[in-house]
Structure 1
């Protein structure tokens, strides 16, 4: 797996559809959907990893969009959507993520939210782009392709 350190800029590609984790239209407005979208290498598909106070095997990260500075945030409620919000100064649990090694030989991770212990999951498996991403239960032992993400360091 790629060596990730504080400040690393990455892209996440879903194993099932080969779509990138994308802040929809690069909007900086709070509550902007984070979606799976055809990869185009734009800044709204690039994410800076900011390490929080970590304990345990996997560091805890804030995942910050390079285009807008919005933080990846799991909104607790019906369907647990994942959206872009301004970063919390206090490392809000909805904005705290672990990149759990699922298949290290292939650089695959599951993106786990620390508030709900759910995983970023691509909901619609079509490959035409624009698919919702939400937090759903899962496990490394029974990883679904819709929950597996390839991490690539950008530039």
Structure 2
């Protein structure tokens, strides 16, 4: 049995990973995206986030963060030779499900009118950077998809 090809992929437009991992990894015809947040490449400020001098969140705008996350996912997909319609599974991490889920769900529906991948949404206590949302995505790429 032949081993599937494993390729690590990076986007020169998406925010740099905050650790030792690629933006995405292709295994066969599956593309696995590492967790994607709203940060912008080479920018100190995070869209929709106001921090105090200690780096703690003073306030955030979940709508702005959602749009920034979806844009970053698109940038990584495109750099990997995939499209939005190739997404088949999305895991959503929110730090405040009670206050943010309805807004997130409304914005999500705007981006997924045609393609509707499987989705799981969970609340987490914190994310590695001072953000309120992160996505983990899987896409199918290659011939016929």
Give the TM-score of the pair, scaled to structure 2: 0.25
Query: Higher strand fraction: Structure 1 or Structure 2?
Result: 1
Query: Higher helix fraction: Structure 1 or Structure 2?
Result: 2
